Amino acid sequence: MKVKVTVNGVAYERDVEPRTLLAFFLREDCGLTGTHVGCDTSSCGCCVVVLDGDRPVKSCTMFAVQADGHEIRTVEGLAEGAALHPLQQAFWDQHGLQCGFCTPGMLLTAYTLLKHNPRPTEAEIREGLAGNLCRCTGYQNIVKSVQQAAGAV
């Protein structure tokens, strides 16, 4: 089945099986491996991408055919050339990652959180990131990173 999507501003047209999950479509058909697959069961949030500008979705729990005609942003679409996105810079500055596996999902969920709520409280940040798991940091520095970015975005 033909799927046409715009990912990070680039149009992709691919022929896929309906059962192809969006996460694998992005990784294998578009070659964008920044989207990680962690738990495979919509629990961990490593696969979060942004649908149509402001909606975070777990791309392991959506079929690529459902994204037909839609616009997606992955972690590869955050930086502008060599300039890191303020959220990426904040994760760098605040040590918001250790192994980095959850980071793409954290960044994109935080990105949509700040779009809807540019000045979130700490509680709102923790609540907003509750669908994203990190097994390294204990979340403290991730929260600090989003707080830094909220001042800069």
Report the interface residues with other proteins, using CB under 8 A: 1, 17-19, 21, 24, 40-43, 45, 48, 55-58, 61-63, 65-66, 109, 127-128, 130-132
Task: Considering the complex, state which of residue 4 and residue 95 has its C-beta at the smaller distance from other proteins.
Answer: 4
- Closest distance between other proteins and the C-beta of residue 18, in Å? 4
Quote the least distance from Cβ 129 to other proteins, whole Å.
Answer: 8
- 84-90's contacts with Cβ under 8 Å and 24+ in sequence apart are 85/111, 86/149, 86/152, 86/153, 87/111, 87/114, 87/145, 87/146, 87/149, 87/153, 89/149, 89/152, 90/145, 90/146, 90/148, 90/149, 90/152
Q: How far is the CB of 81 from other proteins (least distance, A)?
A: 28
Residue number, 19 or 31, with CB nearest to other proteins: 19
| Residue placing its CB nearer to other proteins in the complex, 42 or 89 | 42
Does the CA dihedral 122-124-130-134 come out positive or negative? Answer: negative
CB of 65 to other proteins, least distance (A): 5
